Structure 1
């Protein structure tokens, strides 16, 4: 495994050079276009190319495949897409299935020259996480305007990338959006963190999967909605992780991940009929 790890580390380094280099060039092109002309078909064409090319580059250089299922669950018209978030893969893998997405992005990203200009031209919604709950009204205002433009709001309910199988940490921003916008919410489960982990120096080969799930109807009480969203995403993400584990992980498993895998199996055993 040591030699394989070294080889995979080299493959990962090459991928990051290509990935970051391409992203920077495209951000400059889209950013200048957005700064001068606003939202244009040219900017969207760049975004679509970025999302089309990255899975191919990732597969060729690191061995990570891409599989996305369940896009038929996305309803027509305005909605919120609430996705688990474990790596950058989640962004470009699900983007092509969301129509005209408006991603909720942290303020720091929107302040990066060229990248921030490009993001604004692609309907991204800015949120200042340092302001906490005080930032939510402005986020809701931008989200409402995006819905009126025909966008689908894409939000990561936990606020940031989480390690694979880490305990969930859902925030209140998704609840406020759901209660205010009164549109369906489409949960998205995934297992990408098993291959491209948060802060991991190595991307490991395998099949990263995302699954759009049946929409949650508007109008539920906030606490009922949040619990339903969390249970839906976490249960399906557990299933995707189990599928990956059954097929075998082509990577070393450290003590922290091993403990989380044990906890996953314990959760599954408790849910089996006859177990309490």
Structure 2
């Protein structure tokens, strides 16, 4: 009976998530069709959508959400958040935490109907992985402009979602942006993959003890490091922080 209830709650979350996303997409569509530059109107919509995702996770799945390490965020000016990427949640939470973040994402995502236009109008930065040097220069120009505007740059430096405990190489684009923008970099780690896996929908529905998704900001890396030194320091901080957070999560969940 318990397993059946968990599956039912999981199905309710899936339906609710899709319905909530559709509602917010339809709500924003007229703005995107009529207004030439609706970013100021779309930012509150994106934040409301992200808050709704967390509400659904807490109420239906039975998951707590906690943001740690606020003291490591620079007080003023632009900076880059380089975050571990384990689930779809990682891309939604930044929309409610930061005012007008510039998320660096795959160009293929801009081809998704409605979502792609929404992301473009929010000023997200697309990366064409097959575009060569010209695409890299375009991405760097966009990142530098976002930094000049004082926006938080958000990048997932491995370029893909990983499962807890899974290794993946760090892509050189993060070092290029670090050099081009000259902003501090805040490494961050998450444990969202335990609850919302790389592929599929949230699990551990109704689990006891209650699961907790944690986003943990780590001490910032100052500008000015050489490329290899920066990449080594970034990977060491993120992977070390991830190992610690995953160990804490396994102990908490009894896994």
Q: TM-score, normalised by structure 1?
A: 0.83
Query: Which has the larger displacement, 181-190 or 202-211?
Result: 202-211
Match of 1:222 in 2: 227
What are structure 1's unaligned runs of at least 5 residues?
Answer: 254-276
Tell me the secondary structure at the aligned position of residue 187 of structure 1: strand
Is residue 139 of structure 2 the alignment partner of residue 139 of structure 1? yes
Distance change >3 Å, CA 133–CA 16, structure 1 → 2: farther
Distance change >3 Å, CA 78–CA 58, structure 1 → 2: same
C-alpha distance in 1, partners of 2:133/2:5?
A: 45
2:216 counterpart (185, 206, 211)? 211
Query: Which has the larger displacement, 204-213 or 224-233?
Result: 204-213
Alignment size in residue pairs: 248
C-alpha distance in 2, partners of 1:102/1:111?
A: 18
Tell me the secondary structure at the aligned position of residue 164 of structure 2: coil
Deviation per CA, 1:208-267: give whole Å up to 9, x if none: 101011110011010110111111011111111111111124xxx7xxxxxxxxxxxxxx
Match of 2:24 in 1: 26
Match of 1:65 in 2: 64
Tell me the secondary structure at the aligned position of residue 204 of structure 1: coil
Match of 1:261 in 2: none
C-alpha distance in 2, partners of 1:131/1:113?
A: 22
Check whether the contact 2:61–2:202 (CA below 8 A) recurs between aligned residues.
no
Q: CA RMSD in A?
A: 1.9
Q: Return the offset for 1:6.
A: 4.1
2:246 counterpart (231, 236, 241)? 241
Deviation per CA, 1:179-235: give whole Å up to 9, x if none: 111111111111111111111455224101010111100110101101111110111
1:183-194 to 2 correspondences below 5 Å: 183-194=183-194
Deviation per CA, 1:52-85: give whole Å up to 9, x if none: 1111111111112111111232211111111000
What are structure 2's unaligned runs of at least 5 residues?
Answer: 206-210
